[in-house]
Amino acid sequence: MTIRNKPYSLPLTEIEQTAFCSTEDDLPAKPLSEEMKVNVRWQNIPSDYLHLTPEELDNRIHEVRNKLGNKVTVLGHHYQREEVIKYADFQGDSFLLSKEAAALPDVEYIVFCGVHFMAETACILADDSQKVILPNITAGCSMADMAPMEDVDDAWADLKNILPEENSVIPLTYMNSIAGIKALCGRNNGAVCTSSNAKKVMEWAYDQGERVLFLPDQHLGRNTALELGIPLDKMILWNPFKVLGGNTPEQIKESKIILWQGHCSVHTRFTTQQIETARNRYPQVNVVVHPECPMETVQAADMVGSTEFIRKVINEGESGSVWAVGTEISLVNRLARQNPDKTVFCLDPVSCPCSTMYRIHPAYLLWVLDCINEEQLVNEITVSAEVKSSANIALRRMLDLA
Ligand code: 13P
Ligand code: SF4
Beta strands across the sheet bearing 109-113: 90-92, 72-77, 109-113, 131-133
CA distances in angstroms from 179 to 25, 82, 90, listed in the order given:
35, 28, 23
Least distant ligand from the CA of 17: 2
Interior angle at CA 365, CA 263 and CA 308, nearest 5: 45
Q: What sign has the CA pseudo-torsion 268, 5, 179, 400? A: negative
Least distant ligand from the CA of 262: 2
CA torsion, ordered 360, 362, 367, 373, to nearest 10 deg: 110
pLDDT, tens only, 350-365: 989 999 999 999 999 9
Whether residue 286 is predicted with pLDDT greater than 90 in this model: the reply is yes
- Report d(CA 169, CA 397) in Å as an integer: 17
What's the 5 CA to ligand 2 centre distance in angstroms?
A: 28
135 and 222 housed in the same domain: no
Residue 1 lies inside a defined structural domain of this protein: no
pLDDT of residue 2: 64
What's the 67 CA to ligand 2 centre distance in angstroms?
A: 33
Evaluate whether 377 touches 371 at the Cβ level (below 8 Å): yes
Residue 4 lies inside a defined structural domain of this protein: no
Question: Is the preceding peptide bond at 216 cis, omega within 30 degrees of 0?
Answer: yes
**Mutation choice for ligand 1 from 13, 17, 77, CB with most ligand atoms inside 8 A:** 77
Dump the DSSP string for 114-149.
S-HHHHHHHHHHS-TT-EEE-SSTT---HHHHTS-H
Minimum CA distance residue for ligand 2 atom 6: 141
170 and 242 housed in the same domain: yes
Whether residue 5 is predicted with pLDDT greater than 70 in this model: the reply is no
Q: State the CB neighbour count (10 A cutoff) for residue 34.
A: 11
**Mutation choice for ligand 1 from 78, 79, 200, 303, CB with most ligand atoms inside 8 A:** 79
64: DSSP letter: H
Whether ligand 1 lies within 6 angstroms of the CB of 370 is answered as: no
> What is the domain-level CATH number for residue 171?
3.40.50
Residue 197 lies inside a defined structural domain of this protein: yes
341 and 327 housed in the same domain: yes
Minimum CA distance residue for ligand 2 atom 7: 264
Pairing of strands 257-260, 286-289: unpaired
Where residue 18 falls among pLDDT bands split at 50, 70, 90?
confident
Least distant ligand from the CA of 147: 2
358: DSSP letter: G
pLDDT of residue 213: 98
Whether residue 402 is predicted with pLDDT greater than 80 in this model: the reply is no
Least distant ligand from the CA of 270: 2
Minimum CA distance residue for ligand 2 atom 1: 141
pLDDT, tens only, 91-128: 999 889 988 888 887 899 999 999 999 999 999 999 99
pLDDT of residue 9: 79
Least distant ligand from the CA of 141: 2
- State which of 265, 281, 300 marks the end of a domain: 265
Least distant ligand from the CA of 139: 2
Residue 394 lies inside a defined structural domain of this protein: no
Residues within 6 Å of ligand 2 by CB: 115, 141-143, 176, 264-266, 328, 354, 356-357
172 and 210 housed in the same domain: yes
What's the 6 CA to ligand 1 centre distance in angstroms?
A: 30
pLDDT of residue 280: 98
Mean pLDDT for all residues in the chain = 95
What is the phi-psi region of residue 51: left when phi exceeds 0, alpha when psi lies from -120 to 50, beta otherwise?
alpha
136 and 148 housed in the same domain: no
CA distances in angstroms from 303 to 149, 286, 293, 330, listed in the order given:
34, 8, 12, 20
Whether ligand 1 lies within 6 angstroms of the CB of 194 is answered as: yes
Residue 395 lies inside a defined structural domain of this protein: no
Evaluate whether 8 touches 241 at the Cβ level (below 8 Å): yes
Where residue 1 falls among pLDDT bands split at 50, 70, 90?
low
What's the 335 CA to ligand 1 centre distance in angstroms?
A: 16
Minimum CA distance residue for ligand 1 atom 6: 307
The domain total for the chain is: 3
What's the 144 CA to ligand 2 centre distance in angstroms?
A: 8
**Mutation choice for ligand 2 from 78, 142, 346, CB with most ligand atoms inside 8 A:** 142
Instruction: Tell me which residue range forms the domain holding 337.
Output: 267-346
Whether ligand 1 lies within 6 angstroms of the CB of 330 is answered as: no
> What is the domain-level CATH number for residue 340?
3.40.50.10800
Evaluate whether 126 touches 383 at the Cβ level (below 8 Å): no
Beta-carbon contacts of 357 under 8 Å, excluding residues fewer than 6 positions away, are 77, 79, 80, 81, 114, 115, 139, 328, 330
Whether residue 10 is predicted with pLDDT greater than 90 in this model: the reply is no
Residue 38 lies inside a defined structural domain of this protein: yes
161 and 123 housed in the same domain: no
Q: Is 86 exposed, middle or buried (0-12, 13-18, 19+ CB in 10 A)?
A: middle
Whether residue 277 is predicted with pLDDT greater than 70 in this model: the reply is yes
Residue 286 lies inside a defined structural domain of this protein: yes
Whether residue 25 is predicted with pLDDT greater than 90 in this model: the reply is no
Whether ligand 1 lies within 6 angstroms of the CB of 379 is answered as: no
Which atom of ligand 2 is nearest the CA belonging to 114? Answer: 6
Residue 22 lies inside a defined structural domain of this protein: no
- Which secondary-structure segment (H or E) carries 300? helix 295-300
Which atom of ligand 2 is nearest the CA belonging to 142? Answer: 8
233 and 289 housed in the same domain: no
Which atom of ligand 2 is nearest the CA belonging to 217? Answer: 7
Dump the DSSP string for 88-112.
-SEEE-HHHHHHHHHT-TT-SEEEE
